[in-house]
Amino acid sequence: MRKIQVFTTSILLATLTVLGLPAKSLHATTSRDIPQKLSFELVEKTRGSTSHERVRLIVQFKPAAPAAINQLITTLTGKVTRRLDALNMHALELPLNAVERLAANENVRFVSPDRPVANFGHIESTTGTANVRVQTTTLPGGLITTTNVYDGNGVGIALVDSGIDTAHVAFRDQLGLSRVALSRDFTGENRTDDAYGHGTHVTSIAAGNDQIANGAYTGIAANAKLINLRVLDSQGTGSTSNLLAALDWILVNHDFYNIRVVNMSIGTAAIDSYRDDPLCQAVRQLTDAGIVVVAAAGNDGKDQNGGKIYGRIHSPGNEPSAITVGASNSFGTDARGDDTMATYSSRGPTRSFTVDDNGTRHYDNLIKPDLVAPGNKIVGSAAAGNYLLATHPELDAHVSSDNTSRMMYLSGSSMATPIVAGAAAIMLQANPNLTPSLIKAILTFTAQPLPGANTFDQGAGEINIDGAVRMAKLVRTDLSGSTALGAPLLTGPTGVKQTTVSGQTFDWSAGIICNHAYAVSDELITRYQKVYDQGLTLADGVIESPAGQIVDTNKLTDGVSLGSSAVTSDGGTIGEGMPFLNLSYLLGDGVFLPDGILVGDGIMVGDGIMVGDGILVGDATVRALSGDDTSCMR
């Protein structure tokens, strides 16, 4: 069972989801091919097994699998626990000794465990949101009038988490009505409130209003429509199948609720390659449908002694089409000059993998996260009577004793992720025709590289909502898949590639992440790139071979070039700074970082809940950590 983590607090959330299997010959696939269709964890466990132990699985099927697959499952004494028809998957239970026979069917694409999933909190000013919140126009005679308010109005954000306390003041509109348009439970507890407390906090960061403490804790898209999809139960635990069921529901219903953005401050160990991982496959289907998916990187960036760990990006943050978000530390100041990486934030490259017939692992090695956002000691809404605050009263922010306006502190990439989700909602309000790829490109191009952090720490850099919304407003609204490569992208001049927040001016990264490399050029924001078409990822503009990488001139313009090294930033653009690693190594396999650097292989370094200043509580152990405050981190 794969654990889904809430990247504020470690939380189990795993349930295997398996789609319908056609009941053709059980041996249509040769025995040699069976391991290729099984997750690494299942290969050794199932080989020659006679055990009748029942295991929970997620099964992915090939398109148009015959209806007779149900007969096959029955024959194998399996039980379908969840049908995910839109995703072409099922969650099911099956005897261990029948797993290989299931994988042998020619209509089965991949079988993986239903792994546990877990969860991962001044943001308005430091992210640059306040700069663009209200746009004004000066009329003849000097009269100033408000013309646009960028607050996510009309845009639907789906929060896939532990629920939302809909009675909290933070989620009301200006008329006092709830902005939560729908609540659904996928845990089986038949409740949609937030007994655990993580989802309410996350939601307020993405879209909390300004009606508490004179607007001191306003979220990013403060008037967005909210869709509450509860996949973590009262103890903050869940399963992959819970999460897949919510994503399947979104795929079917997104048009009706205008769901343009999905926030997942949760995740699970990234073991299977993104090409096989069912969560990654589901995320890709959502992005292909025009939905922006924002995922937490995780909080496994250091070991118990405070040493850096690379390669701990969680699933579905290892999916190329997702916007994967790490956590920075703003130290509670609006100015950005003191911002650094949070030491606990999970670093790339992704270490999910496939295994060949010889047992050799082939790692994905993608550059992740894509960008970072403030995630340390963030104040957000506290659900009434929630488990986290009841267990750790020191998290109370002491803003109010009224349960409908109470606030608390949390830290982790869980808190950073909804900042990016809220930014995407504001960008879509400013320009509803933006595709997921174009939103990702603008967010990374306008990000601020943090000095002293390398590409695997921060991706393109720290989010800059001021610059991102400025660019979103300039992008043409008549773009489509038929727009020619190199056509003008904007309706006006870009201006300087800089932003000023709280009196400090910084340069943009001026680049985008492309799986195993990064691309740079002003043409990325002045000319239309075919990788901005819906259904493509930014990495589709790069042709890769064992010998290296080159720009695909059918998808990126001639002026776009690829960087050759991951760098430790000097605070300039994405390609400036001290070389850290030649990016050609990402095309190979194995451990490739310099000597003395610890590289993980997707398996998490323990599970638990970060509480207080540097104390990790979880799995009946308490370990001291150095560095950032990690209050309920994950």
| Residue of 414, 509, 569, 631 marked active site | 414
Angle formed at CA 199 by CA 196 and CA 201, multiple of 5 degrees? 100
Distance from CA of residue 158 to its chain's centroid?
13
User: Do 410 and 121 meet the contact criterion of CB atoms below 8 Å apart?
Assistant: yes
User: Do 219 and 208 meet the contact criterion of CB atoms below 8 Å apart?
Assistant: yes
Known catalytic residue at 161: yes
What lies within 8 Å, CB to CB, of 298 at 6+ separation is 5, 7, 120, 267, 312, 313, 314, 317, 345, 346, 413, 604, 634
CA count, 13 A, side-chain hemisphere, 377: 14
What lies within 8 Å, CB to CB, of 272 at 6+ separation is 39, 40, 110, 112, 315, 352, 353, 354
What's the rounded Cα separation, in Å, for the pair 434 and 427? 8
Strand-pair category, 371-374 with 323-329: parallel
What's the rounded Cα separation, in Å, for the pair 98 and 104? 10
Known catalytic residue at 595: no
Known catalytic residue at 122: no
Beta strands in 150-291 (DSSP E): 156-161, 180-185, 225-230, 259-264, 266-268
Which of these, 592, 443, 581, lies nearest to 517 by C-alpha position?
Answer: 581
What's the rounded Cα separation, in Å, for the pair 228 and 246? 10
User: Do 458 and 341 meet the contact criterion of CB atoms below 8 Å apart?
Assistant: yes
User: Do 364 and 352 meet the contact criterion of CB atoms below 8 Å apart?
Assistant: yes
**316 prior amide bond cis, ω within 30:** yes
User: Do 313 and 324 meet the contact criterion of CB atoms below 8 Å apart?
Assistant: yes
By residue count, the chain amounts to 634
| Residue of 10, 90, 112, 161 marked active site | 161
List beta partners, residue 500.
505
What's the rounded Cα separation, in Å, for the pair 79 and 70? 9
**140 prior amide bond cis, ω within 30:** no
User: Do 222 and 419 meet the contact criterion of CB atoms below 8 Å apart?
Assistant: no
User: Do 169 and 154 meet the contact criterion of CB atoms below 8 Å apart?
Assistant: no
What's the rounded Cα separation, in Å, for the pair 525 and 445? 8
| Alpha-carbon distances of 80 from 16, 60, 91, 230, rounded to whole Å | 10, 13, 6, 21
What's the rounded Cα separation, in Å, for the pair 549 and 86? 35
| Residue of 90, 198, 254, 516 marked active site | 198
User: Do 598 and 307 meet the contact criterion of CB atoms below 8 Å apart?
Assistant: yes
CB atoms within 10 A of CB 358: 5
What lies within 8 Å, CB to CB, of 196 at 6+ separation is 11, 162, 163, 232, 233, 234, 235, 236, 383, 386, 387, 388
Residues tagged active-site: 161, 198, 414
